[in-house]
Chains A and B, each alone.
Chain A
Amino acid sequence: MKTTTKTKTKLKFTSVNYIPEHVLTAYGLQSKILHPLIKLLDFRGFDLDELSSFLNLRSLVFLVCGVNPSSILSFNELEDFLSVIQKEFYNFHIDGYVNQRNMELNKIFNIFRSLYPQYKDIFRSHEIKNVDCELEHFHNLIILVLLLELDLYQNHYTEIKLRLENCDRSEIKEKLDLIQIKKTELVKTLSGGIRVSISRNRLIIQDRIYAGFDTEYTNIDGLNNRILCYTTASTSECILRIRSNKIDFSLREGNVKLPKTADLITTGVKLIRLLRGKKDFELGILKESLDRDSTIDRLTLFNQDIIFKQKRFDISKIHTSFHDIRTDPTQYSFYGLIDMVLKNQSGSIPNTQKFSDYTRKLNLKPIFRSECFLIAHFTTADVSLFSDFNDIKDKLSILNKSFLTLDRNISYKKWKVYLRDSSLLSPGGMSLKAIGSLYPMLPLSKVELDRKQIKNMDQFFDSNKPLFIDYAIQDAKIVLWHSLQVLNSHYQLSKKYTIPVTLSSLASSFLSSKLVVPEEKESSYHPKTKNGLISVKDLAKLNTPIGIELSGDLHEYIDYFLGSYHGGRNESYIYGMINGRFHDYDLPGAYPTAMAMLDYPD
């Protein structure tokens, strides 16, 4: 029986894909233009069109300082090249303003005109926002070209260093350190969004535990309560998140204009990531293999991140626990509760091993995160009974009389803990019984107790322990199951995969996603004025000298609309006491009906 083995090229850049000569010629790229080191890279996943335009730009930058882009530069030549470009480059950041004449005479800005002859006058535009965006991103583009060169040389010297004897290494190390310093300096001058895109790890594996908890207590003297027990119901899942490779081009809040150089910047970032071993292509392979796995669901989030998770939660796999703490109420503490939940779920988080195997096969190094969501109904009672309440209360926020975590989570061991209240996640603060009845097909109906049993919980505990345990556990189960439904709804309505703080925040994000004008995908819930500086919603800012001047015509429009709002009309045709029959006509849902008739403004 014959067996065939494939030999792998033992080079620094493994699985080399040379671009064939005839393809290069077809794309107008002579092989001599390509840097010998670039030729060694594996360009899988790259589009030749985008690659050729970037290499064309690179050649133009090299031509500015008269260096042949096809030769390998020595370290000194590289330093000269960098200093020439940085000297030649008209850096408006240093001046603090844009001098039109200086800029037009600048050799490097002439590259923009050669690349985009149709937009050669863009820097003369009277729209400051356009000039600002294009200037800043062209600056970013040139920095990316320089960074690419430095990365290439760093890789090259690292390769050489490995081959050298110990005694010669120190000189190379010194050079490598200098390159690293240069790189750090250059990266600092990039815009935030691009800086993040270059370095971030796009693969995250998240372990998540969701736990509902509830306490039962009895009233002692009309003022104080004594805790009897606490119960937990928990489930977990593992999520594999692949962050979008979309670059954030916004320079400041609300500015989402795409620059003309966006494609070139994207290619530059991709090339640098490739050199830094970020394995974007392998992430594509990972996506494909996970898509083929029938046990895993794929969700696309609002920011184009992709998450892979188990199909659905199974109510039969919810882990419940009951803790009688009548003898020692101090056992009920916040951190003790987390420990208990973690202990219940330890080793049983589904898919963790599966996702790790997938990433290990492709030699990917994900970031590992751990999140724990604790949910109770009307947290005021359950949280204030914690024995360590005084220690943790500063870490909690209060919203609608409930304790929860808002902007910041609570760190405990490797876990980020979020506290949620299911009363805020139900329409109109429904009772637990009403929430349980939302799911009639599931065994979630609340165990009914009579008035006497509710009033004397401790007696009920002693007299009928099994029923008491059922009653206590069912509450935690309802809370957990409802929160999981809200989690799914949050994804369906606003493409976010987390338990929201309130149902209003869910409604708000749904509304904002629906208010995006289809033709103008970038517009948001808070429509900006013409020049994008002042939001319609921010009336306090609008009615200031700055707001009036910067808001275009908005300040003139807004008064007419605000003045026209008078509220609903109530009319009583007879005053005083009425004897006999009278009719009360009401138009339920008049406002939503009228508002449903509204359309996008032209």
Chain B
Amino acid sequence: MIGRTTGEAFYNLYQRNLIKSYTGLKIKFRFPDSVQYPNLPVRLDFSSVIFPLEGETFCTGVEFYLAMQLKCQIEILGGVFIPFKERTLKNTKGSTEEENFIESKIMEKEIFVRDPFFEGVKNEIKSKLFSEI
């Protein structure tokens, strides 16, 4: 659990590890006026989500990471940080860690995408994943 803290302190603590974690945060934020496309979503009503320069919202670790890259001023009101289990991945083409991570995951998925029937099963699994969220 994360208590009330500044965005910078939290960012300095975890940095790129935020990408490889399950993080949920409640934050107050303000982007510099120079930012053309802010990335933090704020729910306006039952059907609308906007991306304002300033506001209060819930966001994930990856969104927080990108907002910090955009020099956003953030105050964390509370949250949760659960890192991924460390797993060693085989680096085949000298690619970066993230690229390699995606590549290996896609390879894992490709194992059962061999014939048209399994292609269908894969799509069902995808839609099943969405419905489970």
Q: Name A's B-contacting residues (CB within 8 A).
A: 426-428, 430, 438, 485, 489, 493, 503-504, 506-508, 510-511, 537, 553, 556-557, 559-561, 563-567, 569, 571, 589, 591-593, 595-602
Contacts and interface: CB of A to CB of B under 8 A. Distances in A.
A589 B123 CA distance: 10
A601 B22 contact: yes
A600 B119 contact: no
Contacts of B22: 561, 598, 601
Interface string B65-108: 00000000000001110111111000000000000011001101
B84 A596 contact: no
A565 B117 CA distance: 32
A180 B85 CA distance: 55
A1 to B, nearest CB: 60
B90 to A, nearest CB: 15
A566 B49 contact: yes
Contacts of A602: 82-86
Contacts of B124: 427, 503-504, 506-507
B85 A600 contact: yes
Contacts of B78: 560
B43 A503 contact: no
Contacts of A598: 22, 84
Nearest to A601: B82
Contacts of A438: 116-117
Contact of B106 (A506, A553, A564, A596): A596
18 contacts: A427-B119, A427-B121, A493-B121, A504-B128, A506-B124, A508-B128, A553-B1, A556-B1, A557-B82, A564-B60, A569-B41, A591-B126, A596-B102, A597-B101, A598-B84, A601-B83, A601-B84, A602-B86
A553 B83 CA distance: 17
A596 B120 CA distance: 18
Contacts of B53: none
Nearest to A437: B116
Contacts of A597: 101-102, 105
Given A597-B102, A599-B20, A589 B80 contact: no
Contacts of B119: 427
Given A507-B124, A591-B129, 4 more contacts: A427-B123, A489-B121, A506-B121, A569-B49
Given A565-B133, A569-B41, A601-B85, A507 B128 contact: yes
Contact of A427 (B20, B58, B120): B120
A399 B116 CA distance: 25
A351 B49 CA distance: 63
Contacts of A563: 24, 26, 58
B46 interface: no
A454 B46 CA distance: 48
Given A560-B26, A569-B41, A591-B129, A507 B121 contact: yes
B97 to A, nearest CB: 11
B58 A564 contact: yes
A510 B121 contact: yes
A592 B128 CA distance: 11
Contacts of A600: 84-85
A593 B84 CA distance: 17
A564 B24 contact: yes
Interface in B106-122: 106, 108-109, 112, 116-121
A489 B60 contact: no
Contact of A511 (B25, B85, B117, B128): B128
Contacts of B117: 427, 438, 485, 489
Contacts of A508: 128
B9 interface: no
B120 A557 contact: no
Closest 6 pairs between A and B when the two form their complex, measured CB to CB: A427-B120, A560-B24, A563-B58, A599-B84, A596-B105, A507-B124
B120 A428 contact: yes
Contacts of B132: 537
B125 interface: yes
Nearest to A482: B117
B123 A428 contact: yes
Contacts of B84: 598-602
A426 B120 CA distance: 7
B128 A596 contact: no
A497 B15 CA distance: 47
A430 B121 CA distance: 13
Contacts of A428: 120, 123
A596 B109 contact: yes
Nearest to B116: A438
A428 B51 CA distance: 35
B43 to A, nearest CB: 7
Contacts of A589: 126
A593 B128 CA distance: 15
Contacts of A601: 22, 82-85
Contacts of A566: 41, 43, 49
Contacts of A557: 1, 24, 80, 82
A585 to B, nearest CB: 13
A122 to B, nearest CB: 29
Given A504-B124, A592-B126, A597-B102, A564 B25 contact: yes
B10 to A, nearest CB: 13
B13 to A, nearest CB: 16
Most buried by A among B37, B112, B124: B124
Nearest to B86: A602
B121 A592 contact: no
Most buried by A among B63, B117, B129: B117
A567 B41 CA distance: 10
B18 to A, nearest CB: 13
B17 to A, nearest CB: 11
A573 to B, nearest CB: 9
Contact of A599 (B25, B41, B85): B85
Nearest to B123: A427
Contacts of B85: 599-602
